[in-house]
Amino acid sequence: MTGTTLKYLLAISLLSVGLLFPLRRGEESDRIDRKALVHRHMPTLSDVDVLSPFTVGNGEFAFTADVTGLQTLAPVYETGIPLVTQSTWGWHTIPDSHDYRIEQTWEYLDTYGRSVPYAAAMNSAPAQYLRANPHRLHLGRIAFKSFGADIHASDVSDIRQVMDHWQGMIKSSFQFKGMAVKVQTCAHPQDDQIAVRVESPALQQASLDIGFDFPYGSLEWRKTAYDWESSHRHSSTICRRGENDVSIERRLDSTVYYVTIRWQGDAEFIEVKAHSYVLRIKSAKTFEFVCHFSRKDRGTDNSALTFEKSATYWRDFWQSGGAVDLSASADPRAAELERRIVLSQYLTAIQCSGSLPPQETGLTGNSWHGKFHLEMHWWHAAHFVLWGRAAMLEKSLPWYESILPMARAKADAQGYDGVRWPKMTGPEGLSSPSSVGEFLIWQQPHPIYFAELLYRDDPDPKVLRRYENIVFQTAAFMASFAHWDESANRYVLGPPLIPAQEIYRATETMNPPFELSYWAFGLKTAQQWRQRLGLARVEKWDHIIDHLAQWPVNDGFYQNAETALHTFTDEFHRNDHPTLLGAYGMLPNDDVDIEIMRRTLDGVVRSWNWQRTWGWDYPMVAMAAARLGRPDIAIDVLLMDVQKNTFLNNGHNYQSDRLPLYLPGNGGLLTAIAMMAAGWDGAPEIYAPGFPQDGSWTVQYEGLRKLP
């Protein structure tokens, strides 16, 4: 999709605000002041905070900066959120001299009399290699230097920095050697480049240079995503030099990309050593440059045009799509919830709206080698449609089509119909070996859910035709995976199966309620798509829908699985994701027993081990609470004071030192808020049905869609 097309879609969405979707109490005079809404939640810094770097980006590319507006203090930030430059296309593979193949990682498990292969043999060289390759690259560090030397945190004082989301710009000021420095940093909204504007006498008097350094790719799990010690394994070569621009060719084995730097002012570009360059500013108080990253050497917009395009794009972004204003609420927690909502919109837009599904840390450092987890794609990106920004989800769906042959081969190797989507993967769609991920199935219905959201947003036959193959191939696997238990006259799921609550063994687990609910939703939706297209319903799919195993119940509570019936009597079972609530939170279900589910909700809130949860669990529980008529619990859970539900100064959802940012928590929050405000299918006919109705919350919203 071109930038012009996206801008057009945003403009159309803006026109629809207040026309197609209700404003607060339906009054035009109550239109939200969106500029004021965004401005009251711009994060600021007055000191180095390694957990609060700010990021600029466009969904395909992101640049994370420290208090100087660049990556000057990168070594300091390794203890918090790393300062890296990443893109959706920037991947690297270490050469394979052994010709490793996925078949070398297969373990065979009995599946109702069939021997089925899974890539689960982790203690092997092939598994470790295939898991770590390809890995996402840190494309290059851009930092202030002085006389070519690194600058340290002790050299920087009097810090004042703000993340101006309204313009997509980081505004930084600080003192360096007693001289004031002002920096503005933004990203181009369509191209993978940053623009930087610097004002300071230090440019000349203290030789405040701009440094460019390039690392090798890293095989380690580490969040830092780079290797500075292997300079002999890659090359950086100046391939073009002009009067005020230069291009560098980067070669890391089979990976090739280009870095183009273009500046305004009197400066000299100097190669300091291998992979290290300095842009030495000779005489100026103001200096501007752009740095563009791409797979081909090509031209770039200048800094002035980049700043202009950034400001226009982000102004249009904030003035279109959905918005929620909680400022008139009496509940003292409203300001914090509103802050999380605003910052999460920005972070998911720059991190989760690209042409590939995002990794759990987006484009800000690596997790799981930079690969993405498809079961998390829903939590990253489903909210885009609910917030009137469907194009931001739709950009990633062609990728599913691109890996159809790989997904079909995986299903075929295991004796199933249709396509089996991988769990952890990279751009090529190959499953990463895992003793857990290979047995997860809840990523499978996601493409059906995505397609349905897009059709609800735009109920045009062209949407049905566009995604029918993905929907039907996905459903075909789901139907063949469900096993017919003739003795009990029902279909069962597993074993082997590891549920979304990943604490159970694959060979022992059967019929977790979340997966049962999602299987029913997916097959019912696929049948609806057939009818919309004038096709006959698939008889077997209906038979599965009508005979799918019931959700397990014990002692008046729903249970984690039919093979785990002690959820509320044995504390072991109350760890990890409480996904038994997702069966009637994230998902609709006509067969749920409301009273049993309410007791289950109360049991989870009262006794779950919240220290062992993850960031998306809180919005998942909140959605169940909303459906069950307990908006008080929904609010309490969304704002629960526990580590995994921490939202940092920059808006990131902190989990741990190992995972200091976690974007499924941000995306999940936005999904829950859209549901709580705009409602869901079958919701009570009241305004903002998922929020307390006792007068403590005044909710003003625009441009939101209902959840199914």
Q: Which two tokens stand for residue 272?
A: 């300091």
Comparing CA positions, the residue from 477, 356, 467, 496 lying closest to residue 420 is 477
For position 147, what pLDDT does the model report?
86
* CA 587, chain centre distance (Å): 20
Q: What are phi and psi of 179, to 5 degrees?
A: -115, 140
For position 665, what pLDDT does the model report?
98
Segment holding 108, helix H or strand E:
strand 106-111
For position 29, what pLDDT does the model report?
41
Comparing CA positions, the residue from 286, 242, 249 lying closest to residue 268 is 242
For position 5, what pLDDT does the model report?
37
Comparing CA positions, the residue from 606, 566, 600 lying closest to residue 583 is 600
For position 24, what pLDDT does the model report?
40
Tell me the C-alpha to C-alpha distance, in Å, between residue 295 and each of 145, 331, 429: 27, 50, 20
For position 17, what pLDDT does the model report?
38
Measure the CA–CA gap between 346 and 666, rounded to whole angstroms: 10
For position 18, what pLDDT does the model report?
35
Instruction: Report mean pLDDT in 10-residue bins for the chain, 708 residues.
Output: 38 36 41 97 98 98 98 97 98 96 97 97 95 97 94 96 98 94 97 96 85 94 89 96 96 98 94 96 90 90 96 98 98 98 98 98 95 98 98 98 98 98 97 97 98 98 98 98 98 98 98 98 98 98 98 98 97 98 96 97 98 98 98 98 98 97 98 98 97 97 98
Measure the CA–CA gap between 192 and 363, rounded to whole angstroms: 12
Please give the domain boundaries of the chain with CATH numbers for all domains: 58-93+139-319 (2.70.98.50), 323-427+441-501+509-702 (1.50.10.10)
pTM of the full structure: 0.95
